[in-house]
């Protein structure tokens, strides 16, 4: 039944992230991308199914049963995704700051269009 909670969480995070992604202010976009990456990371981990108390750490020497562990592959993927997500956030932030300095506005198009 925990699946429902995780699915709901993914849904809400995605919707929040997508909404912010489409907003006109740079800071909204960066927060939106953060939320969206939480959602995507949770989604990828969820693709390996949810297991409690089954961390993928085998016992040295014994022959492990793959079914007894949570799926390590999505976890490895997500681990790199988290780190790359951090790099992306850092780069985006600095680009936004530079754009703000050059254009004088924090609108994503670099134009002071207050109507949007």
What residues from 49 to 68 belong to the interface with other proteins (CB under 8 A)? 49-61, 63-64, 66
CB 76, min distance to other proteins, A: 4
CB 44, min distance to other proteins, A: 10
Going from the C-alpha of 20 to that of each of 53, 71, 78, 79, the distances in angstroms are 35, 32, 22, 24
Site for other proteins in 61-100 (CB under 8 A): 61, 63-64, 66, 69-73, 75-76, 78-80, 82-91, 93-98, 100
The answer to whether 78 and 41 have CB atoms below 8 angstroms apart is yes
């Amino acid at each position: 039944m925990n699946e429902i909670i995780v699915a709901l969480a993914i849904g809400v995070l995605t919707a929040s992230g997508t909404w912010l992604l489409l907003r006109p202010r740079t800071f909204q976009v960066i927060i939106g991308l953060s939320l969206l990456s939480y959602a995507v990371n949770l989604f990828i981990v969820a693709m390996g199914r949810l297991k409690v108390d089954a961390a993928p750490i085998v016992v040295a020497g014994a022959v492990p049963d793959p079914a007894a562990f949570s799926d390590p592959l999505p976890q490895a993927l997500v681990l790199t995704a988290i780190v790359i997500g951090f790099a992306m956030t850092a780069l985006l932030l600095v680009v936004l700051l530079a754009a703000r300095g050059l254009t004088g506005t924090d609108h994503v198009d670099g134009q002071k269009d207050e109507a949007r």
